């Protein structure tokens, strides 16, 4: 069915590249991915990395229209796509696209811009803006907070296709840093997915929700609990995870209304966030992240000049 | 003058070992140190590490009474000295000492216990309790909060020689982790002690004091400020340092009264904490940390059985 592909959608992040062949009716007819994320590539290696994935999607001669979101447009990526300044209407996202050349091909590659915020706390995103545009496409008229859990969680205020403000919490990266490099690592050696993980997670989430201002102090409880109460590695891992997510959600609690908060991210992480939102008296609604990135790439393609 | 030494005081931490020869009048007559901290030693290596330092202090045959505080008494140290449970009166610290043997010598080594807290947030300290006892000795009757900045900052409530509660903030370790291993490291490459460090420090401290609940979000401002506003590495390092210290102090602000808060730690770090305390409308009072550890070892020695 590859002959029916009319354009190719690409989500090119720091760690991975995902791509989809889309037919004229907007349906996905093939997919391919690789581990050639922006973080592994020098500038001149991007064209070959793209071609290697596209060769799995479609005969190279048939499709030339390629729309890319994510870190490929960063300053240290393939070709910089300057940020749009928030507040901004994401329905114009395609107008900010840049077009790197792929030597020896007829490809028209469009890399979408990210969004930055200069007032009220400097911030940047690349990739999430396309998911937000997609969310606005699949749930038209949604107004309110959106939570995108991950290595660097984003929290954005959306008014239809318009993004007004956003922030970034280094929650996922912090978990990995503390687990791998800090003194807490001594309490996190062994089976981390055992039966005590759940109890630890709830205790940590409660502690983070109740005292988000005390994170630097509460972290050390992982170590002290292991030393004094013989807490197991699975309990400690759960506590650390819950503490970080609880602290993150508490910091954003005042912005959360009564509508369910859309959660865009990996299924496992979104489920954890939904549980902690419930503990905070709020509600989360898990959104299919592939669906919204595809909807966003499609919507952005319509505005590419 | 080494013949006048009557006992030897030792502060044996994770990274270093410091020792002092003390005469019958309680004066320091010689000092020696090494980098043979607990973290580098297997159990059987402690006696030799101690003897190597003592050889610089005094003729081995003349002095046998050695009092040690710090991580040498940890479970993974030389010989475990079980924690005293807070609340506890530190004037009894010597009663909890343990006495490891040094084969082939007449040494009587006394390793002082640490203090733990089981209720109201599990916590542990080893070494700081001796400094707190020393503080109580040199400023009798002091009641209130004591701040001990460092890799793992301790905040303790003292009532004379009695410690009631305490907490640990992983502030110093967090700075090193983020600087070395996180995405923020990209903004912290170059001259970190330049002229912009001060401006960054003040901005970070203000941000931490005003919104300690938002630490996970504010950290990312280091990266965004470098990307969007061209903030220099020295500004970024200052911001990160100020943000962490401001967040730590804000979390403890409600416990700080009108009396100056004693600060025990390295001179440079104590000066930074004193500045941020002033920004929070409080006052810090820098205490000589060597003076209080020596006063604490001396006071504890009096209660060793």
Is position B216 within any domain? yes
- What would the two tokens of residue B277 be? 């305390």
Q: Are strands B17-23 and B28-34 parallel, antiparallel or unpaired?
A: antiparallel
Q: What's the CA gap between A211 and A200, in Å, rounded?
A: 16
Interface test with B, best of A80, A174, A213, A228 (most B CBs within 10 A): A213
Q: For A259-303, write each residue's pLDDT tens digit.
A: 999 999 999 999 999 999 999 999 999 999 999 999 999 999 999
Residue B260 shares a structural domain with residue B178: yes
Look up residue B90 and give its DSSP letter.
G
Distance from C-alpha of B114 to C-alpha of B108, rounded to nearest angstrom: 19
CA distance B7 to B49: 18
Give the pLDDT confidence score for residue B3 in this predicted structure.
61
Local confidence band at A3 (pLDDT 50, 70, 90 cut-offs): low
For residues B133 and B209, what is the distance between their CA atoms, to the nearest angstrom? 30
Determine the Cα–Cα distance for residues A215 and A211; give it in Å rounded to an integer: 7
Q: Are residues A51 and A115 in the same domain?
A: yes
Out of A124, A216, A218, the one facing B227 most closely (by C-beta) is A124
Asked whether the predicted pLDDT for residue B24 surpasses 50, the reply is: yes
Most A CBs within 10 A among B86, B213, B229, hence the mutation to make, goes to B213
B183 in contact with A, Cβ within 8 Å: yes
Say whether residue A110 is in contact with chain B using an 8 A CB cutoff: no
Which residue's entry shows tokens 């602000």? B253
| DSSP-based three-state secondary structure for B17 | strand
> Quick check: A217 and B152 CB within 8 A?
no
Using the beta-carbon criterion (under 8 Å), do B181 and A181 form an inter-chain contact? Answer: yes
Does A169 sit within 8 Å of B224, measured CB to CB? no
What digits encode the pLDDT tens for the residues B47-102?
999 999 999 987 766 788 999 999 999 999 999 999 999 999 999 999 999 999 99
Task: Find, in chain A, the residue whose alpha carbon is nearest to that of B244.
Answer: A216
How many helices, marked H, and strands, marked E, lie in chain B? 9, 14
Nearest C-alpha neighbor of B104 from the set B55, B61, B57, B58: B61
Q: Are A204 and A229 in contact (CB under 8 A)?
A: no
Question: Which of B126, B160, B187 lies at the terminal end of a domain, its last residue?
Answer: B126
Evaluate whether residue B145 is within a structural domain: no
Share of chain B above pLDDT 70, in %: 98
Instruction: Closest CB to A228: pick one of B118, B171, B178.
Output: B118
pLDDT at A1: 46
Q: Residues A124-158, buried b or exposed e (16+ Cβ, 10 A)?
A: bbbbbbbbbbbbbbbeeebebbbbbbbbbbbbbbb
* CB-based contact A152 B123, cutoff 8 Å: no
Closest CA to A245 of A283, A286, A290, A279: A279
Query: What is the model's pLDDT at position B60?
Result: 62
Residues A177 and A240 in one domain: yes
Question: Nearest-CA distance from A167 to chain B in Å?
Answer: 6
* Three-state SS at B281: coil
**Does A275 map to a domain?**
yes
The answer to whether residue B241 neighbours chain A at the CB level (below 8 Å) is no
For chain B, say whether A119 makes contact (Cβ under 8 Å).
no
Same-domain status, B8 and B87: yes
Domain at B54, CATH number: 3.30.420.300
| pLDDT tens digits along A178-196 | 999 999 999 999 999 999 9
The torsion angle over the Cα atoms of residues B277, B280, B283 and B285, rounded to 10 degrees, is -10
Using a CB–CB cutoff of 8 Å, tell me whether A75 touches chain B: yes
Residues A174 and A69 in one domain: no
Contact across the interface for B169 and A247, Cβ inside 8 Å: no
Tell me if chain B has a CB within 8 Å of the CB of A123: yes
Range of A212's domain?
169-287
Q: Are A8 and A111 found together in one domain?
A: yes
Structural domain count of chain A: 2
Cα B49 to the chain's mean position, in Å?
22
**Which of the listed residues A126, A156, A181 is the one where a domain comes to its end?**
A126
Per cent of chain A over pLDDT 70 is 98
Please provide residue A75's backbone torsions phi and psi, each rounded to the nearest 5 degrees: -60, -40
Q: Does B215 touch chain A (CB under 8 A)?
A: yes
**Domain CATH for B199:** 3.30.420.310
- Residue B255 touches chain A, beta carbons under 8 Å: no
High-pLDDT (> 90) share of chain A, %? 91
| Residue B164 CA: distances (Å) to CA of A216, B115, B183, B261, B265 | 21, 11, 39, 16, 21
pLDDT bracket for residue A80 (50, 70, 90)? very high
The alpha carbon dihedral of B149, B155, B160, B163 has a sign of: negative
In a domain? residue B305: no
Distance CA B242, CA A64 (A): 50
Q: Which residues of chain B neighbour A121 with C-beta distances below 8 Å?
A: 217-218, 221, 224
Contacts of residue A206, defined as CB under 8 A and 6 or more positions apart, other chains included, come to: A242, A246, A279
Q: What is the pLDDT of residues B92-126, one digit of tens each?
A: 999 999 999 999 999 999 999 999 999 889 999 99
B183 and B254 belong to one structural domain: yes
Contacts of B118 in chain A (CB under 8 A): 228-229
Write out the DSSP string of chain A. Answer: -GGGEEEEEEEE-SS-EEEEEEETTS-EEEEEEES--GGG--GGGHHHHHHHHHHHHS-TTT--EEEEEEGGGSTTSSS--PPEESSEEGGGGGGG-B----TTS--EEEEPP-EEE-SSS-EEESSHHHHHHHHHHHSTT-EEEEEE-STTEEEEEEETTEEEEEEEE-HHHHHHHHHHHSGGGGGS-S-SSSTTHHHHHHHHHHHHHH-GGGHHHHTTHHHHHHHHH---HHHHHHHHHHHHHHHHHHHHGGG--SSPEEEES-HHHHHHHHHHHHHTT--EEEE-HHHHHHHHHHHHHTT--
The verdict on B9 and B74 lying in the same domain is yes
Q: What pLDDT, in 10s, does the model give residues B270-288?
A: 999 999 999 999 999 999 9
Residue B84 falls inside a structural domain: yes
Pair type for strands A123-125 and A115-117: antiparallel
Answer whether A303's CB lies under 8 Å from A93's CB.
yes
pLDDT of residue A2: 47
> Does B8 map to a domain?
yes
Q: How far off is chain A from B265, nearest CA to CA, in Å? A: 18
Hey, of B214, B241, B246, B252, which one would you mutate to test binding to chain A, going by the most A CBs within 10 A of its CB?
B214
**B211 and B109 co-located in one domain:** no
For residue A60, name the pLDDT band (cuts at 50, 70, 90). Answer: low
- Nearest-CA residue of chain A relative to B154? A217
Write the CA distances from B48 to A140, A254, B65, B105, integer angstroms. 73, 58, 16, 11
Whether residue B173 is found in the same domain as residue B283: yes
Whole-number CA gyration radius for chain A: 21
Mean per-residue pLDDT of chain B: 95
Sheet holding B88-89, edge to edge: B88-89, B162-169, B153-159, B143-148, B261-264, B284-287
- CB-closest option in A212, A220, A229 to B213: A212
Query: What residues in B contact A115, CB-CB < 8 Å?
Result: none
| Residue A244 covered by a domain | yes
A215 contacts B215? CB cut-off 8 A: yes
For B224, the closest chain A residue by CA position comes to: A123
- Judged against a pLDDT cut of 90, whether residue B140 lies above it is answered with yes
Say yes or no: B89 and B200 in one domain. no
Residues B121 and B175 in one domain: no
Going by C-alpha positions, the residue among A86, A100, A136, A105 that lies closest to residue A300 is A136
Q: Considering the domain boundaries, does residue B131 fall inside one? A: no
Q: pLDDT by residue (tens digit) across B30-48? A: 999 999 999 999 999 999 9
Please give the angle made by the CA atoms of B231, A174 and A216, to the nearest 5 degrees: 90
């Amino acid at each position: 069915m590859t002959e029916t592909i009319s354009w190719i959608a690409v989500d090119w992040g720091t760690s991975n590249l995902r791509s989809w062949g889309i037919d004229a009716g907007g349906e996905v007819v093939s997919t391919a991915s690789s581990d050639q994320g922006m973080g592994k590539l020098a500038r001149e290696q991007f064209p070959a990395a793209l071609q290697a994935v596209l060769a799995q999607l479609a005969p190279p001669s048939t499709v030339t229209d390629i729309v890319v979101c994510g870190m490929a447009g960063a300053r240290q990526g393939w070709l910089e796509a300057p940020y749009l300044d928030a507040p901004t209407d994401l329905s114009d996202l395609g107008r900010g696209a840049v077009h790197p050349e792929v030597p020896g091909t007829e490809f028209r590659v469009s890399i979408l811009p990210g969004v930055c915020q200069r007032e009220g706390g400097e911030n940047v995103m690349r990739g999430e803006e396309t998911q937000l545009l997609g969310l606005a496409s699949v749930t038209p008229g949604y107004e309110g907070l959106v939570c995108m859990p991950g290595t660097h969680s984003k929290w954005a205020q959306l008014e239809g296709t318009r993004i007004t403000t956003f922030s970034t919490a280094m929650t996922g990266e912090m978990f990995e840093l503390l687990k791998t490099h800090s003194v807490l690592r001594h309490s996190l050696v062994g089976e981390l997915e055992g039966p005590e993980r759940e109890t630890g997670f709830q205790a940590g989430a409660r502690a983070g929700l109740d005292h988000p201002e005390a994170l630097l102090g509460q972290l050390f409880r992982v170590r002290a609990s292991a030393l004094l109460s013989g807490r197991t590695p699975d309990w400690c891992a759960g506590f650390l995870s819950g503490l970080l997510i609880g602290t993150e959600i508490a910091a954003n609690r005042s912005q959360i209304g009564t509508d369910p908060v859309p959660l865009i991210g990996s299924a496992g992480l979104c489920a954890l966030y939904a549980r902690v939102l419930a503990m905070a008296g709020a509600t989360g609604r898990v959104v299919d992240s592939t669906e919204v990135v595809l909807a966003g790439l499609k919507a952005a393609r319509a505005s590419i000049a």
